[in-house]
Amino acid sequence: MNTAAATPSSIRLGLCCIFRDQPIKFRQTTVKANSAMERSAALARLSELCLTNAAALQDALRYCADHGIGCFRINSQILPLKTHAECGYAIDDLPDGKQIVRAFKACGKFAAAHNIRTCFHPDQFVVLNSPRGDVVDRSIDELEYQSEVAQWINADVVNIHGGGAYGDKAAALDRFADTLNRLSNRARSRLTIENDDVTYTPADLLPLCQRENIPLVYDVHHHRCHGDDLSIDEATEQAIATWDREPLFHISSPLDGWQGDKPRRHHDYINIADFPDAWRNRTLTVEVEAKAKELAVLKLKQQLSERWFVYILRCGDDSLYTGIAKDVQRRVAEHNAGKGARYTRSRLPVEVQYQECQLTQSAALKRELAIKAMSKTAKQRLIKSG
C-alpha cells in the first residue's frame, strides 16, 4: 500500500473525485445504455471507458502534483458498472483488461513518485451491517472491486460509514464486526470507517475501531452536526490513535453557516475558522469536501500557509500602538513612510517592541483588541516578557 507520508508536522490536503474548472473528466455509462448492446459490444464499450478513466486519473494526479495537492479521492465508478448484477464483469472479461491494469498501475507509480496519496470512498449503498443478506453481499462485492483497483494504484484507504442503527446501535455494530471476516485481506487492510452526521458519532465508533483495528476517518463537520461527549480535540487525539499510518480526516463547512437551517449541506469553500486548531502542526491527510473542488483545496492551502502577527510599536512620543500584519517589517516601513495608521503618522518614527504569531486573521484581530484594552503598564510587561 501507499505508505508515503506528508512532510513532518504538515497537512496533506485532498481533492475529492472531480474537478470544477479543470477539463479533466471521468466518464460513465448507464445500465440502460449498456443493456441495450450485445454483450461483446457492451464489454468493448466498458473497456474503452475504463481506459479513458485511467488516462483521466493520470491527468488528475499530474494536476495534484503540479499544484501541491497531496491526496486524490478516486471516483467509485472509475470502472463503470463493475459490480452491477446484470452488466458487471471481471477485468479479464474486457478486451483491454491487461492494458487497463497496466494503465492504473502506472497511475500508482506516478502517485508514489510525487508523494500523492490515493483513496476510495464507496457510495452510501455500501452497508456492512444491514440485516438484509443481499445488501451485505452487494456491499462486499463493491468493497472488493474498489480494493482491487486500490491495490493496482497503491491506495491505502477504502472508507465507509457505519451504516444504519436499525433500532439497536450495539447490535448493528456487532453485525458490522462479524461481516469483516468475509472480506479479503486486501479489502480488510484498507477498510476505514467514518462518523456520520445522523447516526454514528466518533464516540459510537471508537470502541469498534479499537477492538477491530479499524482506523477512524474523523469528519469534523459531521461531528459538529451530530455531536457526542467528546470535544474536537479529544476526538482528534482518539481518532489518530486508531491509525497505523498517516491519519486521514475530512473537513467541510456549512452552506448557510452554522446558524442556518441545514448545516449538513456543504459550502463551495472551507471557512478557515472551521479548520480545527488541534489539526494544525500535525502530520495528517485532510480531504476537502467542498463544492468548488480544486479551487476550494487551493484556497484552503493558501490560508493554512498564512501567518498573522500581532505587534506593538513604540512611537516617537513614547506611546504604544498595536496592530496586525502578515509581514511586520514591511508594515513598520509603511508606518515610518507615513502610509500606516493615522495614529502613527504624527508620532514618527516607530519601532517594533513586541510581536506574536497567530494562525488566522480572526485570531489576530481578537488578540489585537485584547492588547489594545490593556493599560500601558500591562503592555510594557508584555513587551518585557516577549
Largest CA distance in the chain: 89
pLDDT score, position 7: 42
Tens-digit pLDDT string for the chain (386 aa): 544 444 434 899 999 999 999 999 999 999 999 999 999 999 999 999 999 999 999 999 999 999 999 999 999 999 999 999 999 999 999 999 999 999 999 999 999 999 999 999 999 899 999 999 999 999 999 999 999 999 999 999 999 999 999 999 999 999 999 999 999 999 999 999 999 999 999 999 999 999 999 999 999 999 999 999 999 999 999 999 999 999 999 999 999 989 898 999 999 999 998 999 899 889 999 999 999 999 999 999 999 988 899 999 999 999 999 999 999 999 999 999 999 999 999 999 999 999 998 878 888 999 999 999 999 999 999 999 87
**∠ at Cα 250 (199, 84), nearest 5°?**
70
| Nearest in space to 284 (alpha carbons), one of 71, 74, 15 | 71
The answer to whether the Cα torsion of 138, 140, 143, 147 is positive or negative is negative
Radius of gyration (C-alpha) of the chain in whole angstroms: 26
List Cβ neighbours of 237 (8 Å cut-off, separation of 6 or more).
Answer: 278
- The enclosing H or E element of 216 equals strand 216-217
Strand ranges for 75-199 from DSSP E? 117-120, 157-161, 191-194
Cell 470512498 sits at which residue?
121
Domain with CATH 3.20.20.150 in the chain: 10-305
Helix spans in 115-268 (H): 133-153, 169-179, 185-188, 202-212, 220-225, 232-240
Q: Which grid cell sits at 15?
A: 481533492
Q: Please, are residues 11 and 280 in contact by the beta-carbon 8 Å criterion? A: yes
Say which amino acid occupies 60: A
Measured distance CA(6)–CA(141) in Å, rounded: 32
pLDDT computed for residue 362 by the predictor: 85
Please state, in angstroms and rounded to a whole number, the distance separating the CA atoms of residues 126 and 143.
8
CATH 3.20.20.150 matches 10-305: yes
Helix (H, G, I), strand (E, B) or coil at 354: strand
Instruction: Specify the domain boundaries for CATH 3.40.1440.10 within the chain.
Output: 308-385
For 308-385, give the CATH class.
Answer: alpha beta
What kind and span of H or E run contains 10? none
CA 308 to chain centre: 24
Task: Say how far apart CA 112 and CA 121 lie, in whole Å.
Answer: 20
**CA gap 196, 216 in Å, rounded:** 11
C-alpha dist (Å) from residue 1 to 116, 156, 198, 210, 275: 12, 5, 32, 21, 28
Cα angle for residues 127, 130, 136 (degrees, 5° grid): 65
Q: What is the pLDDT of residue 358?
A: 87
pLDDT of residue 1: 56
User: Is the whole model's pTM more than 0.75, yes or no?
Assistant: yes
Q: Is 191 exposed, middle or buried (0-12, 13-18, 19+ CB in 10 A)?
A: buried
